[in-house]
Amino acid sequence: MKLHEIQSTWLQQLEGERGLAELTIKNYQRLTGADLAQLERQGVEQASQLTRPLFERLLVGWRREGLGERSIALKLSAWRTFVHYMLDYQHLSDDPLSGLKAPKIPKRLPKNLDVDSISHLLELPLDDELAIRDSAMMELLYSSGLRLAELVSLDMDSIDLRYGQLRVLGKGSKTRIVPVGKVAIKAIQRWLKIRANWLGARPEVALFISQRNQRISQRTVQQRLNYWGKQQGVVGNLHPHKLRHSFASHMLESSGDLRAVQELLGHANLSTTQVYTHLDFKRLAEVYDSAHPRATKGKKSS
């Protein structure tokens, strides 16, 4: 059976047995088809002719064609799926792609908003209860660089408004203590009054709740931020990570203290029993107060 015939049965198997979407199957066909045609022109028609050096030459050819790292990685991924099929159905005895690594794809950081754009974005109306809640969430996301999951998991006892501190449960159940700016504290205080009115006597530990008086969902936060992004004229979709990335960028630009920003974001390898390492909270608070655009400079009033 020739390679193009094996490809045909492979694509049929993807559709019939694995139930992949039609678009996915067409992508597999496109990603491998041009190479198969080229190989056949070179006299490579049997699966047994597929070798590691042959794929290395294909890889060089892809680069010469000007394909980017992401496109090359997609091609290799499609070929790996095809090769695994040929191994499973005994068209091949050895994996010619074994040890052939895909190029590393650089992570794309979301574009951050500048300080003026953030200030305009966060100027929400204070005569609407939902806007007051959303303002508190957005201020806190930007104030403390929280992840979306961290924001929605906050409880009432997570925040100390008097001392401007927030206890955050991050990835891997790692806890960290981060400062909260004065602007965010005022926004949260406004929200707490609304929250109390919504709940009445009903018990609820979540800091941020929906109109159903339940812990707010990640999906709702995403929808609300996207709504306000459009209302305030932010270019592109506004999502929680854009506020987190803006926080990190502005802090780093102003302070130049990469280690402190790393601590604030929770990127350090912290254990679940430690709330901070290397830098104590006082140092974090000093960097925060001196660098964050919405932190109030100077001593706290008693």
Torsion, CA 278, CA 284, CA 290, CA 293, rounded to 10: 120
pLDDT recorded at residue 39: 92
pLDDT recorded at residue 276: 26
Indicate which residues carry an active-site annotation. 147, 171, 241, 244, 267, 276
Residue 25 lies in a domain: yes
Residue 231 lies in a domain: yes
Of 266, 253, 255, which Cα lies nearest the Cα of 289?
A: 255
Are 242 and 146 contained in the same domain?
yes
Are 210 and 286 contained in the same domain?
yes
pLDDT recorded at residue 191: 96
In three-state form (DSSP H/G/I as H, E/B as E, the rest C), the secondary structure along 133-195 is HHHHHHHHHHHHCCCHHHHHCCEHHHEECCCCEEEEECHHHCEEEEECCHHHHHHHHHHHHHH
Give the domain CATH number at 50.
Answer: 1.10.150
Q: Which of 42, 73, 88 is the last residue of a domain?
A: 88
Are 225 and 80 contained in the same domain?
no
Provide the strand spans (E) within the chain: 159-160, 165-169, 175-179
> Quick one: 194 exposed, middle or buried, by C-beta within 10 A (0-12, 13-18, 19+)?
middle
Distance CA 119, CA 180 (A): 17
Are 37 and 134 contained in the same domain?
no
Are 143 and 284 contained in the same domain?
yes
Are 77 and 142 contained in the same domain?
no
For residue range 256-291, list pLDDT tens digits in order: 555 665 566 655 433 322 322 334 455 566 777 877
Are 119 and 62 contained in the same domain?
no
DSSP state of 48: G
Residue 268 lies in a domain: yes
Residue 93 lies in a domain: no
Kind of pairing between the strands at 165-169 and 175-179: antiparallel
Are 198 and 127 contained in the same domain?
yes
**Residue type, position 297, single letter:** K
Compute CA distances 20 → 5, 87, 138, whole Å.
Answer: 20, 20, 39
Q: Which of 69, 88, 107 is the last residue of a domain?
A: 88
Are 172 and 228 contained in the same domain?
yes
Q: Which of 73, 88, 103 is the last residue of a domain?
A: 88
134, 124 Cβ separation under 8 angstroms: yes
pLDDT recorded at residue 16: 77
For residue range 204-217, list pLDDT tens digits in order: 999 999 999 999 99
Residue 20 lies in a domain: yes
Are 79 and 155 contained in the same domain?
no
Residue 108 lies in a domain: no
List per-residue pLDDT tens for the chain, 302 residues long.
899 999 999 999 888 776 677 888 888 999 999 999 999 999 999 999 999 999 999 988 998 888 888 888 889 999 999 999 999 998 999 999 988 887 776 555 456 677 788 888 889 988 999 999 999 999 998 888 888 999 999 999 999 999 899 898 887 777 888 888 899 999 999 999 999 999 988 899 999 999 999 999 999 999 999 899 888 887 667 878 788 878 777 766 666 555 665 566 655 433 322 322 334 455 566 777 877 887 765 444 44
**61: domain range?**
3-88
Are 280 and 155 contained in the same domain?
yes
Residue 96 lies in a domain: no
Give the domain CATH number at 187.
Answer: 1.10.443.10
Residue 272 lies in a domain: yes
Number of folded domains in the chain? 2
pLDDT recorded at residue 273: 23
Are 139 and 79 contained in the same domain?
no
For residue 91, the SS3 value is: coil
pLDDT recorded at residue 258: 56
